[in-house]
Amino acid sequence: MEKTIFVATFLIADEYTEHGFRIKYCADDTPFDSDYMEDYGWIFIVQQEVGIEEPDYDVRELLLKGLKAEERKLVAEYAKSKASIEDRISKLMALEVLS
């Protein structure tokens, strides 16, 4: 599915950059109001209409895969830690029996 967005480039005077100006790119699905931006010290340079292809897949599926992988990793770490503690407990119990 194709979606149209508008990309605008502005020159911004600010105190955070070394040279006093920086370029900012903005993207939105409606045209920019350059007069509004100029009220904030942004100098409008150019605006372009761009067509982008939106993916057909559900992002939740990718998020679920990532979460499941993280869950498996945590379960494995827990099992390893638990096994180590159980091993130490059994060794201490063995020492009690021997004494």
pTM comes to 0.41
pLDDT of residue 62: 86
**pLDDT per residue as tens digits for the range 60-96:** 888 999 999 999 999 999 999 999 999 999 988 887 7
pLDDT of residue 84: 95
C-alpha span between 49 and 67 (Å, rounded)? 36
99 falls in which pLDDT band (50, 70, 90)? Answer: low
Instruction: Break the chain into its structural domains and give their ranges.
Output: 2-53, 57-99
**pLDDT per residue as tens digits for the range 1-57:** 777 777 777 776 666 655 555 556 566 666 666 666 666 667 777 777 888 787 777
Cα–Cα distances (Å) from 6 to 29, 66, 96, in that order, read: 6, 32, 75
**CB-based burial label for 42 (10 Å; 0-12, 13-18, 19+):** buried
pLDDT of residue 25: 58
Parallel, antiparallel, or unpaired: how do β-strands 2-13 and 42-53 relate? antiparallel
